[in-house]
Amino acid sequence: MPDQPADPAATSQSLARPPAPPSTEEQILAARVGPTPPHNSTITLAEYDPAWPQVYAQKATAIRAALGERITLLEHVGSTSVPGLAAKPLIDILLVVADSSDEAAYVPELEAQGYTLRVREPDWFQHRVLKGADPETNLHVFSPGCIEIRRMLLMRDWLRAHPDDRALYERTKRELARRQWKYVQNYADAKSAVVEAILARASAAETAQPE
């Protein structure tokens, strides 16, 4: 969650970056909307469930019905979008709208679908996260041109196609999941080094492809 300026002109060469420093408790709490009790536990990982893509598809249908043409991009991301990868049983969805900071343009319709705004990060690409349930869902909202969109999609696509890095990522997650974490964000931050190493390989391979 450290401050990162959005760069609409970012290319694949710039997708990987040095691992960010761990988020402080002050940063974590400042970004949260509503009460944020500490996690103070390990992280539960589930074996890959072939039903996860269908769950995403159902949720995507409801989001499209709510927002219609306001959606620029809607994608299944995160570990549940990678076949064979163990994951927290939580569906991550990437939603791109014209201006993620304009909450009035999309949040009320999503709240009517059962989502709750839980994260607001004006200094980090105007990132918003809305939480859904049945099963638990993180709906990540960005604006067009944000580098995080490309990073999320490249990470997903690379892990789908490269078993070695998929296995590396899973080993890292399993090792870290056994530890006690005050906030789940601390666990996410701890994965930063391996995520950036994988993205560096993915970016290099993408850059090397002939046009």
For the chain, the structural domain boundaries read: 27-208
CATH architecture of the domain 27-208 equals 2-Layer Sandwich (3.30)
Q: How far is CA 135 from CA 58, 83, 118, 138, 177, in A?
A: 11, 18, 16, 10, 20
Average pLDDT over residues 110-118: 98
User: Residue 49: is its pLDDT beyond 60?
Assistant: yes
For residue 11, the one-letter residue type is T
Contacts of 204 (CB under 8 A, 6+ apart): none
CB neighbours of residue 29 within 10 Å: 12
pLDDT band at 8 (very low <50, low <70, confident <90, very high): very low
Please give the pLDDT value at position 137.
Answer: 98
Please give the pLDDT value at position 24.
Answer: 97
Please give the pLDDT value at position 208.
Answer: 81
pLDDT mean across residues, the chain? 93
Please give the pLDDT value at position 120.
Answer: 98
User: Residue 190: is its pLDDT beyond 70?
Assistant: yes
pLDDT band at 211 (very low <50, low <70, confident <90, very high): low
Q: What is the pLDDT of residues 127-146, one digit of tens each?
A: 999 999 999 999 999 999 99
Please give the pLDDT value at position 14.
Answer: 58
Do the bridges between strand 91-97 and strand 137-142 make them parallel or antiparallel, or are there none, so unpaired?
parallel
CA–CA dist 190, 186 (Å, integer)? 6
For the chain, the distance separating the N- and C-terminal CA atoms, rounded to the nearest angstrom, is 34
Record the pTM. 0.92
Please give the pLDDT value at position 7.
Answer: 39
Average pLDDT over residues 178-197: 97
